[in-house]
Structure 1
Amino acid sequence: MKKSNLDKTYWEERYLNNNVGWNIGYPSTPLKTYIDQLTDKTLKILIPGAGNSYEAEYLWQNGFKNIYVLDFVKQPLDNIKQRIPDFPSEQLLQLNFFDLDNTFDLILEQTFFCALTPSLRTNYVNKMHSLLAGNGKLVGLFFNFELTTSGPPFGGSLRVYNALFTESFNIKVLEKSINSIKERHDKELFFIFEKKTSWH
């Protein structure tokens, strides 16, 4: 399917046909390691384009209750509700990421950016900036392989990501992930970006 057709129907069909190669069945190791060092359980956290979001489940099990999971197809949100029956329905957001109107202390990026049509990347940066509270952080993983027209997933490079985010975020960490899962070894960059409160 052409990248211009990455609409709701496209993703619904992928879930329907179980064509979910990004679904590893447990929290991504680099994100789990990051979560493990968080001490403030009151943080308001967003996981956009979350899919089955084992990271959300892991956070919930570890006492983080102010978690919001966003996807614009229903099935992955239903899957989360089945696995975590007491997860508040109002924190499962079925809508387009770009329509979200809220603010968060931390946003976790896991295979959402790489699923977007590359022409939306600047919009993604601007939206992430607007969704974060002052000094909020965007943390996660980007794929580190050549950007081609075949995707998703769509790749990129450290240089490309640095150029894309540096105007509106302080680049705290942007480096090759040292603890990626075997299938993604040498293909991921781990990052921590902090929102700039004044930018032009």
Structure 2
Amino acid sequence: MQWKPFGSFNGLLHFLNLKTDSWEECWVNDVTPWDLGKVTPVVADLVKRNDLPVGCALVPGCGSGYDVVALASHERHVIGLDISSTAVGQAQKLWHERESSAFEFLCADFFEYKPRDPFDLILDYTFFCALEPSLRSLWGVKVNELLASEGELITIMFPMDTFEGGPPYAVSLHAYEKALHPHGLRCTYFQENALAVEKRKGREYLGRWKRCVNKL
């Protein structure tokens, strides 16, 4: 997911409080302030620099699928996952003219999703911050389950802040570590995202995570 400036959030919060199937209703009613309408700049940069694992990749909360298509190549098959059938339908419609053998969109609950094989790359952009904080430990369990033994998790961490309530819920490096460290996943890179869109600068960081291997 990709959040637009905070100015759009009041309407979103009100909407989510009123709806049972919140995310689906947001897409049905075009209340999607997280959708940039383009590829996330730092994702485009990582692709350009060829600085990502190849193989199979997963983008949970993929929305319109811009990052899914940007990541896809003849060396990397990408699955975009979203709990909203409307979001998935929109992504499929948006990208139906592109070569589809390198990517696909699935409507499924991240926590119940069971792929045939684990993923070499998982990209989480504001999926983590959309979850109730009580679900973060379960997110860590699921990431561990879905990630291949030598795989890499990339987190674009926003909003790095301390406010109460959400979504989006404030995040911190500690919050990610608390969810991932029990599974041996350690941060190998953590830096402010210089390519963040203007109104997210200073509150968005790029994190890269891999399993810690004990050397005897």
Q: TM-score, normalised by structure 2?
A: 0.79
Indicate if the aligned counterparts of 2:24 and 2:83 stay in contact, CA closer than 8 A: no
Q: Percent identity?
A: 25
Query: Residues of 1 paired with 2:38 and 2:23: CA distance?
Result: 20
**What are the Cα deviations for residues 54-80 of structure 1, in whole angstroms up to 9, with x where unaligned?**
1112223x5455111111111111122
Match of 1:96 among 98, 109, 113: 109
Indicate if the aligned counterparts of 2:53 and 2:151 stay in contact, CA closer than 8 A: no
Structure 1 residue 185 corresponds to structure 2 residue 201: yes
Backbone CA RMSD of aligned residues? 2.7
Match of 1:76 among 76, 87, 100: 87
Query: Residues of 2 paired with 1:110 and 1:10: CA distance?
Result: 19
Aligned residue in 2 for 1:132 = 147
Indicate if the aligned counterparts of 1:108 and 1:139 stay in contact, CA closer than 8 A: yes
Runs of 5+ in structure 2 lacking a partner?
1-12
SS at match of 1:34: helix
Query: 4+ runs of 1 displaced by more than 2 Å?
Result: 4-8, 35-42, 62-65, 158-168, 195-198
Structure 1 residue 45 corresponds to structure 2 residue 82: no
The 3 A distance-change label for structure 1 pair 42 and 194 is closer
Count residues in correspondence: 195
Aligned residue in 1 for 2:25 = 13
Query: Residues of 2 paired with 1:163 and 1:118: CA distance?
Result: 11
Query: Residues of 1 paired with 2:84 and 2:193: CA distance?
Result: 29
Query: Residues of 1 paired with 2:44 and 2:193: CA distance?
Result: 13
CA drift of 1:40 comes to 7.5
Indicate if the aligned counterparts of 1:135 and 1:197 stay in contact, CA closer than 8 A: no
Indicate if the aligned counterparts of 1:6 and 1:116 stay in contact, CA closer than 8 A: no
Structure 1 residue 164 corresponds to structure 2 residue 179: yes
Aligned residue in 1 for 2:168 = 153
Query: Residues of 1 paired with 2:18 and 2:59: CA distance?
Result: 19
CA drift of 1:18 comes to 1.3
Q: TM-score, normalised by structure 1?
A: 0.85
Query: Residues of 1 paired with 2:56 and 2:76: CA distance?
Result: 8
Runs of 5+ in structure 1 lacking a partner?
none
